[in-house]
Structure 1
Amino acid sequence: MPRANLDKDPHEVAAMFDGAAGGYDRANSVMTFGFDRRWRTTTAHALDARPGEKVLDLAAGTGVSTAEYARGGAWCLAADFSIGMLTSGKHRGVPMVAADALHLPFADDSFDAATISFGIRNFVDTKAALVEIARVVKPGGRLVICEASTPPFGPIRFVYRRFLLRAMTLLGRFTSSNPEAYSYLAESMAAWPDQRTLAETIAAAGWTNVEWLNLTFGVVAIHRAKKPPVAPAPHPTTTPQ
């Protein structure tokens, strides 16, 4: 079955995830030693989706995260460019749409919040995707990203890169319907920028109040930001007669 390369050609990445869709959630749980559930719960708390809000869950895969976020009463939409992943998650009962993060099929200011879990590192152009996401989020709206990151403590970083990534890859290969995909996933995790670099990219894309929270010693990090509110129109001035 196909695997993508780190140039992240969208067609290759989509085909790879189509091939990995069967058993993808189970493989992720095994590969992360069950920590994926804890990370998803913490991400849901950071997102704080409320009744009446519209939330875009981008790179949602099978919609497991979307269903988690919708429990609070918000209307949550799962979007992904892998038809196979969406099809595998249709039993979750959340709305789903095929979408490219660089060309989202939504009007400006459509969502109160947008979130991405373990998907942003698969985008071919991270900054362009963040700009496009900002377009569809309302002024003052929220962005929450959960992604693999870089442990700040040197010894843990060494163990993570030298041993844990290999162990995670092997576990994923044994439980995945597309074992080759997990070689790419490990490579993309190792090549992904650290917390501060991602925060700077988010800010450069026009988001404000960027902050991050390390999870599991920094193996994973949640980044949170806001879209700037609309500046008030200047009051007209009158010229004395």
Structure 2
Amino acid sequence: MTRASLDKQPHEVASMFDDVAANYDLTNTVLSLGQDRFWRKEVAKAVDAGPGKRILDLAAGTATSSLPFAATGAYVVPCDFSVGMLREGKRKHPHLPLTAGDATKLPFHDKSFDVVTISFGLRNVVDTDAALREMFRVTKKGGRIVICEFSQPTWAPFRTVYTEYLMRALPPVATAVSSNPEAYVYLAESIRAWPDQRGLATRLQGAGWSQVAWRNLSGGIVALHRGVRV
């Protein structure tokens, strides 16, 4: 069993996700109390995929997140650096062009995509700013970025309860449904260490993105950030 640490060495993170690939989607649904489905719907609305659009879905894992985009007739490329995740995704969705790639060194030409999106993956990248710059590079002028990531609950009393859930309740639940519960201890730690909504918006602006904004989901447990390449 592999557990990554907060220095987020790529080989550790990739190995950790290789370990949890088989039950990853089920585990996410259980741990989020079913909220992950709602979050994915909101991402799909923000991405606004459609025929003729080219969508890059980063940290796509098993490509479950890519299905709503493909269903609109868009050309979607699910990309992840966990070979185990990609293998599981190819087994489930053989029609999708799953691609191995590191978010800090994307294997795509400049200005290749209309929308670049990443859900619950930016937090696991070793160099967040480099990844945001790479996403900017591969996005067409006028194209957009959509990031769905864990954030900070806006109501202070709930924020305290949420933090307790992450560190106390999450590992036992993960033990029951995951093949590598230790991985979810890392995930809880990484959520606590992640910048808040305004902090991530500032980093997006620093990477060149314009019209940066965010919307809180589930009381700020998750935030949906958007930006435009002008």
Superposition TM-score, scaled by structure 2 size? 0.97
Secondary structure, counterpart of 2:28 in structure 1: helix
The correspondence of residues 118-197 of structure 1 with structure 2, limited to 5 A, is: 118-197=120-199
CA contact (8 A) 2:53 2:114 kept: yes
Q: Separation in 1 of the partners of 2:119 and 2:167?
A: 18
Secondary structure, counterpart of 1:105 in structure 2: coil
Shift of 1:89: 1.1
Aligned to 1:225: 227
Q: Separation in 2 of the partners of 1:189 and 1:139?
A: 32
Secondary structure, counterpart of 1:79 in structure 2: strand
Aligned to 1:16: 16
The correspondence of residues 20-31 of structure 1 with structure 2, limited to 5 A, is: 20-31=20-31
1:68–1:172: structure 2 CA closer, same or farther, 3 Å change rule?
farther
Aligned to 1:48: 48
> Which digits, 9 at most, give the CA deviation of each residue in 1:158-210, with x for residues without a partner?
11112355323322232111111111011001111100000000010000000
Aligned to 1:99: 101
Q: Separation in 2 of the partners of 1:46 and 1:145?
A: 9
- Letter of the structure 2 residue corresponding to residue 21 of structure 1: A
1:112 matched to 2:114: yes
Secondary structure, counterpart of 1:223 in structure 2: strand
Aligned to 1:78: 78
| Aligned residue pairs, count | 228
Q: Separation in 2 of the partners of 1:149 and 1:44?
A: 19
Q: Separation in 2 of the partners of 1:219 and 1:212?
A: 13
- Letter of the structure 2 residue corresponding to residue 191 of structure 1: A
> Which digits, 9 at most, give the CA deviation of each residue in 1:196-226, with x for residues without a partner?
0000000100000000010001000100111
Runs of 4+ in 1 over 6 A off after TM superposition: none
- Letter of the structure 1 residue corresponding to residue 155 of structure 2: F
Shift of 1:45: 0.2
Aligned to 1:215: 217
Larger Cα Rg: Structure 1 or Structure 2?
1
CA contact (8 A) 2:117 2:146 kept: yes
How well do the aligned residues superpose, as a CA RMSD in angstroms? Answer: 1.0
- Letter of the structure 2 residue corresponding to residue 220 of structure 1: V
Secondary structure, counterpart of 1:142 in structure 2: strand
- Letter of the structure 2 residue corresponding to residue 44 of structure 1: A
Aligned to 1:238: none
> Which digits, 9 at most, give the CA deviation of each residue in 1:28-66, with x for residues without a partner?
100101110000001100110111000000010000001
Q: Separation in 2 of the partners of 1:52 and 1:165?
A: 44
CA contact (8 A) 1:13 1:122 kept: yes
Superposition TM-score, scaled by structure 1 size? 0.92
Unpaired segments of 5 or more residues in structure 2? Answer: none
Q: Separation in 2 of the partners of 1:221 and 1:167?
A: 22
Q: Separation in 1 of the partners of 2:132 and 2:41?
A: 23
Higher helix share: 2
